[in-house]
Chains A and B, each alone.
Chain A
């Protein structure tokens, strides 16, 4: 880790003193120009030729702030035009070439901005290279959020991957490449997708980011089983606002998109949801239902019956399909039940693996259980698997686990 940081620091230091653009592969040296340019803290390199801003993303003063730094020789003058070179305004600059200019835009009007830099030798940059058309949107941010979510949900419902990805930012927190493959797998696994939502909360904030909370309702058909499935709940998104367009920055569980790799796509979880659709590695609905048995103050053994979902608290095993002890890292089982430890998570199990009777052991105890691993049970031809989420300990008699029937 230290080596990496030292290497990075050395690389940045070297880059700072270099005057050749090594990554341009042979492109010419910089002349008079701009080292950087920001429009309301948004790098001009990251925008296209048109920059659309929202009222909510401006400061409370409603100003657009242009900041930058000149590059090349000693700066002699900096001028800016907002009307496509019809009129120019001198901009104050510091000795080191940094400058700032502010203006209050009118909604709906387009400002054709160019910046001209002149050095003390009279040499100028190419202002056309700095041209940006800046517009203050007449839309409010809620309208834009709805427009964006409508388009994303429509693209997902129609299984149009290219259009969907057009609304995902390159800086998507969990990685755009992971989301792209997960959504592609969603489209292979599902059809007749019908997602709907209403907005609960929208908040625009610093760095042009927009927080969105929604209530959703969804129906999908699972191609592998031919069955339909529905769920509803609330979830959250964060969007980046660039060029008047919102692009997805992060999503929380329950996920709307990328159900095939939920663990790697979601960054966080919205409290208060009981279940959410996820797709397992085989392309089927997976993940299982989460069960919590709370025996705090009422027992040291947590019992569960698969077929009925019945729970009980006791001080000893028996009279149920499986039970967790608070004094041992074990799952007890009895009667005609057989068990097999799978060595992998519930989401990665296949029906064939679970129903392969080789390796099942007669009644007793599953010892040394771990979270994240699946343990399967066979009861007279019915197969159930559980994956512990939290294992009870003395003083905290609470068993939480996922359960799925195969």
Chain B
């Protein structure tokens, strides 16, 4: 029934036009062969054997009378459970039509009302009224189901989820040329529990949001939302509200932002984005001290247990940070760039007490033909409750180059890295060494690009009864646009191959993966 309704609505919205219409299609078909060997092969995340993946997308647009429309449809087919549990699935179905006043959309509709109210996609339909040259408010209505995928709509046993039906309405009014305000309602009702423990909500959210530009460069935005929900599994009901306010001043040489947020523990927005039980204050100031030097500072503070009901108590967080970025720190080096950052994390309360320090230095430069990027980081994890006391150092450097040999461009690269961790509580040390070599290749005359990379990671652990491990890897990818397929716009044959060899002190954990993917990508 739902499928029929969608098909009718989509067909109505996407009637083929007699003129000024266009149609595009993109298709990618690939076959992958994975080979996994070794006693520890169960740890692999690859599916052994030959599998395929087919992805098709269709797009079109046109006009009919005063109406213009566009539509999109897409599907996926695979026999690899790790690519998708469904062998054949619909990925996109959408149609939109407008006459510049009335806009109708069906299928995948994503009417993003505001952060707390509606920030997720629905399978359904929407209508918007917006007359550009009048004082009438912009009105949006949306109805549908918040399923993560189309297969869930028709209750496919493999992808069945709780049925969350949603209805939303939003009025947005330009109060003055610099101020707009909007009110919205979103109601959701869950049915069709999949497992006994699934929570079923009946929720309503009323939200007010606004945007204001009082003077050039200064913007204010805010939102207040109140939510009321009942949860039938646990037989609970609650009300809560959320508020956020952001002020941003942006004009050279400074950008300053202030944010405040307060989300009650019982605030539940079924289709919005919010972290319940959090009061947050954040400031950030970016200051261009000179053409070469930019300073950035910030402070984030937040806490939970706003109603004081959490048995574990309240957790407080302070996260200040300071960084300085310098272009050309050495005047004689035109491409040099340095960045130094310090971040601090203080967390305490509810049985925790930690103070972590993060220090990072980055330097980039061009040394003759070589572009270099070097990073050195130091982290100190410190807790009074003996959860994590550790000193960690990481170092990475990469060298990249570009050479043209006739019409072929070669891009060799080298990466070296190490990570050292001293666990003060356990008295143990972990060390990780890694390197990789790469060679990229562009041959525009032959419509060919390729990339070869190989390297290794080695983890060395001092703790007894833990394994050291080595991973050797090699990857190769080539993309070719043959002239044979010139009739099809932007068509590419590709080959991707990979090899991973995992070795552990406990040799029964060892395994190797070989993977080869060949495919054809076509678009017109």
Please report A residues at the B interface, Cβ cutoff 8 Å: 1, 4, 8, 11-12, 15-16, 18-19, 21-25, 27, 30, 33-36, 43, 45, 55-56, 59-62, 69, 71, 94, 96-98, 100, 140, 142-143, 162, 173-175, 177-178, 181, 184, 187-188, 191-192, 194, 196, 198-207, 209-211, 213, 215, 217-219, 221, 223-228, 230, 232, 234, 236, 238, 249-250, 263-264, 266-268, 270-272, 281-283, 292, 294, 296, 342-345, 348, 350, 352-353, 370-373, 390, 393, 395-396, 398, 400
Contact = CB atoms under 8 A, between A and B. Distances in A.
A22 B215 CA distance: 10
B495 interface: no
Given A181-B343, A188-B392, A236-B148, A209 B112 contact: yes
B321 interface: yes
A264 B110 CA distance: 25
26 contacts: A12-B220, A21-B216, A21-B249, A24-B252, A27-B252, A27-B253, A60-B105, A62-B61, A94-B177, A140-B24, A142-B26, A177-B300, A177-B319, A181-B358, A188-B419, A200-B149, A201-B91, A206-B110, A211-B110, A221-B459, A226-B504, A264-B275, A281-B387, A353-B386, A372-B312, A390-B234
A226 B275 contact: no
Interface of B: 24, 26, 43-45, 53, 55, 57, 59, 61, 68-70, 72, 74, 76, 78, 82-85, 89, 91-92, 94, 96-98, 100, 103, 105, 108-113, 115, 119-121, 132, 140, 148-150, 152, 159-162, 177-178, 194-198, 212-220, 222, 233-235, 243, 245, 247, 249-254, 256, 260, 262, 273-275, 278, 280, 282, 298, 300, 302, 310-312, 319, 321, 343, 345, 350-352, 354, 358, 362, 375, 379, 383, 386-388, 390, 392, 394, 419, 421, 423, 425, 430, 432, 457, 459, 461, 466-469, 471, 500, 502, 504, 509
B471 A192 contact: yes
Contacts of B55: 198-199
Contact of A194 (B45, B103, B350): B45
A366 to B, nearest CB: 13
Contacts of A23: 217-218, 249, 251, 254, 256
Contact of A211 (B120, B152, B282): B120
Contacts of A282: 387-388
A69 B235 contact: no
Contacts of A281: 352, 354, 383, 387-388
A96 B282 CA distance: 35
Nearest to A197: B83
B44 A219 contact: yes
Nearest to B458: A191
A279 B469 CA distance: 20
Nearest to B84: A215
Contact of A219 (B43, B152, B311): B43
A204 B110 CA distance: 6
A15 B110 contact: no
B74 A142 contact: yes
Nearest to B120: A211
A223 B161 contact: no
Contacts of B78: 198
A71 B343 contact: no
B197 A344 contact: no
A270 B388 CA distance: 31
A218 B235 contact: no
B214 A61 contact: no
